[in-house]
Structure 1
Amino acid sequence: MRSLRLATTFAAVVLAGVVPVVAAPSASAETRRDRQWYLKTLDVAAAHKITQGSGVVVAVLDTGVGKHPDLDGQVVDGVSLAAGEGTSLTDNDGHGSSMAGLIVAKGGNADHLLGIAPKAKVLSVRTGAGRTGMGKTNIPEGIRWAVDHGAKVINISAGGKLEDGGPEAVKYALDHDVVVIAGSGNVEQFPAGSGVIQPASIPGVVAVSAHDRDGNVWSGAIGGPEVVLSAPGVAIPAVSAAGGGRVVGYYESTNGTSNSTAIVSGAAALIRAKYPDLPAKDVIQRLISTADEAGAPGRDPQYGYGRLNLVKALTADVAPVAANPLLQSARSSGQAASAAPEAGEDSLGPALRLAAIAGGAVCLLLVVVLVLVLALRRRRA
């Protein structure tokens, strides 16, 4: 779910199997780090003084993760659930590698990219060989596999219409204290009116939309009532890793809810590193309760609860919640429905039922008294 605008300044892999080198910096005065405008918007420098994500594993369910200097040592070999040959470290499309870079790229000098959580690790779960045909069943299977292999955050910058098993897989993750974050989808890839794609639309998932440098919602993002957060997703540079005949270097500018999803996953990794004992439900609560209000008041279809505020999510005093806040509204409506009487059932509320019982008792007592009075009169007569 990523749209490329420019793909320049690449370097070729010299020999197969050799760790690739990055292209020389461009002659422009603007560095690649400068192009990561969202680092300043989110004040990532301040966030990194608090934590950089050490000890947290983020599963990336995508096209695999290839080799790139900015990802060296950052990626854990997971599993390939895609048809055909390849491992989780095979990326013939490039999408999964780019998402991994947004989350855990190591940084370095100004011409290397810096991830939101550079001390975290990405667990690569290859759910498809390309952005099309990601596998209607592979994503649910990938969620379960990631949960069982140590992921604390699951990033899904892909999706569509899943087969049966999506809601159950998400519930499995939530029940095992794992935060699931997915993109709302791009209008370029999905028909108009299709709504937020799965798994982002599944209750309990942090569904992410995209905004630009000015904080305006990206016109290419799919909106809907399931959107939870908005994050930077426009004009985002990304790594171009080895695989699929690509040269190794960088995409200078990409657009998509894929990008914003990966950025929120990085934010979740920082929260989990700062608060290692914090349950997933409270990680989600931190993300949504500290978001900057945008769009219509409250939760709206474009921004959800608002724009990601990374530093506030790490530092604010947020009270714990009893349940996943993304499930509370659904549970409330479900409870209301179950409490509503069916046709033929007693429709009185508890207070009315109590009053009715009391009234009946009083009537019965009056009848008994009247019977006794009449009986006494007859005896006297």
Structure 2
Amino acid sequence: MSRGLRLEEIASGLPAAAEALRRQGHRLGTSELVDIIRLARSYADLEGRDFLAEDELEMVVDAVVKHRRLSHAIVEELRRASSSSRFRERVERLESEIMAGLQAMGAKPGWRVSKKKVSRRGREAIAAYMMLRSVGAIQGRPGRERVADAQSLRSLAYTLARQGVESLREAYLSKPSRGGRERRLMEAESGLAPKLAELDEKGLVELGWASMRKGNARLLKDVGVELARRARTGSLSRVRDAYKIMRRAGTLDRETLSLMIASDPSLASAPEADANTIARAVGIAGHERGGEILAKRLREAGPGEAEALVSKVPPEALWAVKSHSLDGWKGELVDAASKAAASLRSALRYMEGGGEGWRELGYTM
């Protein structure tokens, strides 16, 4: 069902419509106008709305005006008047938004624009600059930008209204996104950006880098939280970038880090990862990648950590790590641990397949 006409548009438009139709030779009395307005309000009240769809308006007018041709003419006049009224409202609203945006920026028609000064004026000014720039109210290359003159701004409002644009924000969001980190940062700081959960991974990472460079701790924390959420769902591909941003944002916990290491073994050397973190990552990653993770960490580990690692990981990871060359005592440690694990597995299998005597002694799988 189309939006149709508001009750106030019907009530205010009927007298003018009746006068126009009388000049064309139609007979339309005041009592009929009153009946149309009364019936329209009653119908809208029953529906719990303040407007009538066009087919509903036609039904109401038909119920009062018995001549079909006149009924149709009344509806057409109301529709035309409503369309003209709404267009004027859009133009006036857009002109008002443009001037309010310039005021927020501390600018006037024809003035030069300094992005640095705009940024210092805060969130509202940044949003105004980006919207006005996107619709053409601010023109010129960076460093030489200027607000259009007053006549051009009025023409711009008229053009946007003709395109059906209701607001500067709508016009901005309907345009394809251009620019990289700086634009994304300005969008986020001004409140024009889409929700972080709606950004693609590239955009989210770029926003994280930009917020780090600009020192925007609040935004950096928000980006870090969203990256951590994606890491936990396994939907990250730029894992190393995400790790660096999350580390700076303070949103990196060891369970999430385990998932990230399992996805990107190069993070096995992360200083935040302890033996439990690595062991968890090895278990998630599987035998082959788990062996790669373990080997990378062991190369940098001291004796205490190395012993903790080989005692916590599955035997399969110990066997897999033997394909990655480890020198000196670390290689000997892995060799001894893998042999011990193999011996333990053999013993357990023997126990599992043995007689009842093993179970009577309390040995179970």
Higher RCO, 1 vs 2 (CA within 8 Å, ≥6 residues apart) = 1
Higher Rg of the two aligned structures: 2
Structure 1 or 2: more helix by fraction: 2
Q: What TM-score range do you get, normalising by the shorter chain?
A: under 0.3
Structure 1 or 2: more strand by fraction: 1
